[in-house]
Amino acid sequence: MGLAAVSDNPKLKYVTSFKDRHNKRWFYFRYRRQKFKLPGKPNSAEFMAAYARYLADAESGALGRNNLVFINGTIGWVIEKYIAHDHGLLKHSTSTQRNYRLFCDIIKRETGQFKMADLTPVAVRAMRDSINVKHKTSVADLCVTIVSALWQFAIEHLRLPLGHNPGRGIFKLHKKKKITKRWSQEIIDRFDAAATPPVRLALYLLLYTGQRECDVITMQWDHIRDGVIRVKQRKTAEVVWITIDPALRAVIDQTPHINEYILNSERGQPFASSNGLSRAIRRTLESIGVEDHSGHGLRVTAACALKEAGCSDDLIASITGHTNMKTLRIYLKEVDRQLMAREAGAKRVAARGG
């Protein structure tokens, strides 16, 4: 016997029930082709509480993010498994999880009800183009990347009999790449002169530790031992130990111990997120007429300075905490070329005997 749909309570908007082959009735809140399970029976306390919540979410536009029922084998079902799996979303850092979850929600809304096995490159391109209309091109491209990861996850951990990954080889719409600029010594000096004490401290922490903004705001006084600061990076969970440069030491020694955190905002409180620090740095840069630099550029600057000091890429990574050497080499590309050009020039002169 199949499922027979009947309308149960015309007074309750969007409510539908289904009687299964065991003659058991299930109640659902149906809204815009989405189905949400309702507990208990109509007019019971738990039923009415769930119904009120779904109705309010439908009116606010929030319905469908967390409690949509997906059939096994659908893209939405794979996403739910991926989100809860140790080798899926949970293997990433907290910040990456937050970003990937947003992309997963977009994919759910676009294609969640379709079978994973029915995905083709044509379907992935159609999804990408649809997302591109509603969001940025970079978001559309990242959703394609997530689909590719979901496909591999479904094969490895859900044992779905899938073939070629339809997310691979899809043309990227977003062409303009944001290049993180290295800060020149002139800009560093001008920024240093214009910055308030908290922002000046941030400058020195970023410049002489090579860490991300999200890492310097979590540095604490008791992380410093014997002239070395220990940092557990928020993005990768990598732990690095950095010898405190004399220039940074001089600034730290002048910094009052307001609380357990080394860096605090203008209000004397810890930064709630790296966004607050990024804005403070951007305001200072704008005040000196610089609009194409960012706080993250100081991480690039620190890596380049280490390279120019004669450090190998592995030594630099031991400070910056890079686990992806490809990213680090992008930072160092210009410096590497300059150093190799100097070496080539010196060898040319030496070959002439001069």
pLDDT, one tens digit per residue, over 95-116 is 788 889 999 999 998 898 899 9
From the list 86, 65, 75, the residue with the least C-alpha distance to 166 is 75
- Contacts of 148-154 with CB under 8 Å at 24 or more apart are 149/82, 150/75, 150/78, 150/79, 150/82, 150/107, 150/116, 151/116, 151/119, 153/78, 153/81, 153/82, 153/85, 153/87, 153/88, 154/78, 154/81, 154/116
pLDDT of residue 7 exceeding 50:
no
Alpha helices in the chain, H assignment, sequence order: 45-60, 75-84, 94-111, 121-134, 137-157, 185-194, 197-209, 213-216, 246-253, 274-287, 297-308, 313-320, 325-351
At residue 67, what are phi and psi to the nearest 5 degrees?
Answer: -125, 25
pLDDT digits (tens, 9 = 90+) for 32-51: 667 778 888 888 988 998 89
59-71 confidence digits (pLDDT tens):
776 666 555 668 8
Residue 186, pLDDT above cutoff 80: yes
Cα 320 to Cα 56: distance, rounded to the nearest angstrom:
47
What dihedral do alpha carbons 94, 329, 192, 266 form, nearest 10°? 0
The tokens describing 36, both together, are: 């949400």
| CB 6 within 8 Å of CB 19 | yes
Angle at 203 between CA 249 and CA 229, to 5 degrees: 40
Going by pLDDT thresholds of 50, 70 and 90, the confidence category of residue 135 is: confident
Dig out the tokens for 286 from the structure: 């704008």
Question: Tell me, what's the pLDDT at 140?
Answer: 93
pTM: 0.65
Q: What type of residue is 148?
A: S
How large is the average pLDDT for residues 272-298? 94
The rounded Cα 326 to chain-centroid distance in angstroms is 18
